[in-house]
Chain A
């Protein structure tokens, strides 16, 4: 398949275009990784592992999906990993200590996540503090609250089987239960970003917030929406995480914000805003997950994953730059 797809001059122009796009480069990388690990890894090539990789990537994937519109507006949300910790702990508290039914506790947790996102948004839009600084503050604040509530030691466990299915169960014997959640979130964010006027306005804001304001776009409300969605998605990721691991502790999601940002940036979204696509984010995410899982299944040292993800990021971005120069 790879050989056929190489850019020959006699091929239709769209093949060239696809291969020269950032997503095209990533897709080739992804196929290359898949081929390599199919040979090196045990049971890498197959449905079971595909399912496991979906499971492995669901939490960070959710964060990355919500991070894409944030970065498209030229912003950043560093607080999502910490918000996962806070959401996990509050979810555990609501369920175990407040004796709420698990579904009600989950809904309340989503509400809290949205509120936390709104807090970020308010500080960014009303007080005009740069997103990096606001979310660096809430990064510390949310984790601190999570640790404070539990004295950093309390651990919520023994969740009902019904709930654990969400993170550990399978549909039709092979599709991880979090798969449909992730798919729904991916479709929702794709529609928002690429098929609505709101989505288009986010790109305009990313290019120039002032310009967008002059063009009559309600910049504050749009920014409010993306940070609110980011918070909401972080708490959804937390619920999936708790169900997946069977425990809710203050350390949930530590470092996930950077992994999500890596996936987004690897996916071709410009950190300066104005450019980026959901498909790119998905490809970036999978390029990282395939690499990590592939190394694990070929008994490679886990530390190598960190190095290779770094190399991958730099190579992909450099390739993107070089290809764009040629245009």
Chain B
């Protein structure tokens, strides 16, 4: 019971201390350094580490304090707890790559209710829980880049096959439809002859690629639109000994470096991750200052100029292509 008395004393002291810190979560007074709290889906992922480089660069340019924290593994509850902490700590703006769309929504709304600005990047939450979403790639942008590469490699006509992650996943279906649409509009002589799912597994992509090579002898290009499928498809092409078949797709530079150097994989399409991190911080600070609002038509921040919007999505622009001329400069 005496210990309880001791604790009560401590609790009383804590209460006395309340006045000092009241109104804790609000934005800092003008003139003070802006604090940007930025969260990746997981801290260990090489992709997000590459994004952080750009975020650090933008924070330095703008003279803002950047807090970078997130769960070690993708974990919605972990993201929640950290955002809750940031609300208590009192940051000016929060930028999150959201692991779970609905799971993050309420805590981000709580942050906004406390006067903290919220932007999302890489992956979005519900629209009412943030100001803008920094969108690294639209289906149209991805489709255009991939089909243009295909047309260039095949000389504007010929057959190609797509290996996708699944025939039902939302983003995969969107991309595939956009590819189909742009293809038919721009290159009528270019023909997709097969569309196969690989369940996001490299081994299955390898098997599917083999099947396609056997079934469609005139198919000269494999387009892999999920990241495990690229090295899987390239492996299959290498083992088949077919030097006339090329691989392109969406993937990470490190997964595909060897195949790019061997001349099997011609183009690895993604975005510049550093630019994504850079833009997320630029947008976060602009939203805090009020110079960027949902409904704007263009945005310029630092070295990224005249970027466009699609609704309340700020677009990073057309995707970037890693090929044998530049792939050694990237490590993720």
Interface residues of A (CB under 8 A from B): 1, 5, 14, 18, 21, 23-24, 27, 30-31, 34, 38, 41-50, 52, 55-56, 155, 157-158, 164, 168, 241, 244-247, 249, 251-252, 254, 279, 293, 296-297, 299, 301-303
A-B contact pairs, 14 of them (CB 8 A): A24-B3, A42-B90, A43-B88, A45-B14, A46-B18, A48-B21, A52-B84, A155-B103, A157-B103, A247-B76, A247-B103, A279-B3, A293-B85, A302-B82
Residue of B18, B75, B106 contacting most chain A CB atoms (<10 Å): B106
The chain B residue sitting closest to A306, CB to CB, is B72
Known A251-B75, A296-B85; contact A244-B10, beta-carbon cutoff 8 A: no
Report yes or no: B6 in contact with A42, Cβ–Cβ below 8 A: no
Give the chain A neighbours of B2 by CB distance below 8 A: 14, 18
Q: Which of B99-138 contact A (CB under 8 A)?
A: 100, 102-103, 105-107, 110
Report yes or no: B89 in contact with A50, Cβ–Cβ below 8 A: no
Report yes or no: B22 in contact with A46, Cβ–Cβ below 8 A: yes
The chain A residue sitting closest to B28, CB to CB, is A42
Known A18-B3, A48-B21, A299-B67; contact A158-B102, beta-carbon cutoff 8 A: yes
Q: How far is the CB of A299 from chain B (nearest CB, A)?
A: 6
Give the chain A neighbours of B86 by CB distance below 8 A: 296
Known A41-B89, A45-B14, A293-B85; contact A246-B21, beta-carbon cutoff 8 A: no
Give the chain A neighbours of B15 by CB distance below 8 A: 47
Q: Which secondary structure dominates where chain B touches chain A?
A: helix
| B7 adjacent to chain A (CB < 8 Å) | yes
Give the chain A neighbours of B69 by CB distance below 8 A: 296, 301-302
The chain B residue sitting closest to A251, CB to CB, is B75
Q: Which secondary structure dominates where chain A touches chain B?
A: helix
CA distance A46 to B106 in the complex (A): 23
CA distance A296 to B84 in the complex (A): 10
Give the chain A neighbours of B90 by CB distance below 8 A: 42-43
Report yes or no: B102 in contact with A45, Cβ–Cβ below 8 A: no
The chain A residue sitting closest to B67, CB to CB, is A299
Report yes or no: A246 in contact with B3, Cβ–Cβ below 8 A: no
CA distance A244 to B77 in the complex (A): 9
Q: How far is the CB of A148 from chain B (nearest CB, A)?
A: 18
CA distance A282 to B6 in the complex (A): 14
Report yes or no: A21 in contact with B9, Cβ–Cβ below 8 A: no
| B80 adjacent to chain A (CB < 8 Å) | yes
Interface contacts beyond A1-B9, A23-B3, A48-B25: sample of 12 additional A-B pairs, CB < 8 Å, sorted by A: A18-B6, A43-B24, A44-B21, A46-B22, A47-B18, A55-B84, A56-B84, A157-B102, A157-B103, A245-B76, A293-B85, A301-B69
CA distance A254 to B75 in the complex (A): 10
Q: How far is the CB of B168 from chain A (nearest CB, A)?
A: 12
Report yes or no: A246 in contact with B88, Cβ–Cβ below 8 A: no
Report yes or no: B110 in contact with A168, Cβ–Cβ below 8 A: yes
Known A41-B89, A50-B14, A302-B69; contact A244-B80, beta-carbon cutoff 8 A: yes
The chain B residue sitting closest to A42, CB to CB, is B89
Q: Which of B1-55 contact A (CB under 8 A)?
A: 2-4, 6-7, 9-10, 13-15, 17-18, 20-22, 24-25
Report yes or no: B103 in contact with A48, Cβ–Cβ below 8 A: no
Known A246-B102, A247-B76, A249-B76; contact A43-B25, beta-carbon cutoff 8 A: yes
Known A1-B9, A157-B103; contact A46-B21, beta-carbon cutoff 8 A: yes
4 shortest interchain CB distances as A-B pairs: A46-B21, A157-B102, A43-B24, A296-B85
Report yes or no: A52 in contact with B67, Cβ–Cβ below 8 A: no
CA distance A50 to B10 in the complex (A): 12
Give the chain B neighbours of A299 by CB distance below 8 A: 67, 89
The chain B residue sitting closest to A156, CB to CB, is B102
| B81 adjacent to chain A (CB < 8 Å) | yes
Known A41-B89, A246-B102; contact A241-B4, beta-carbon cutoff 8 A: no
CA distance A38 to B18 in the complex (A): 12
Report yes or no: A52 in contact with B14, Cβ–Cβ below 8 A: no
Q: How far is the CB of B1 from chain A (nearest CB, A)?
A: 10
Q: How far is the CB of A63 from chain B (nearest CB, A)?
A: 14
CA distance A52 to B84 in the complex (A): 8
Report yes or no: B14 in contact with A296, Cβ–Cβ below 8 A: no
Report yes or no: A56 in contact with B106, Cβ–Cβ below 8 A: no
CA distance A1 to B11 in the complex (A): 12
CA distance A168 to B106 in the complex (A): 8
The chain B residue sitting closest to A38, CB to CB, is B17
Give the chain A neighbours of B84 by CB distance below 8 A: 52, 55-56
Give the chain A neighbours of B20 by CB distance below 8 A: 45-46
Q: How far is the CB of A173 from chain B (nearest CB, A)?
A: 11
CA distance A141 to B76 in the complex (A): 23
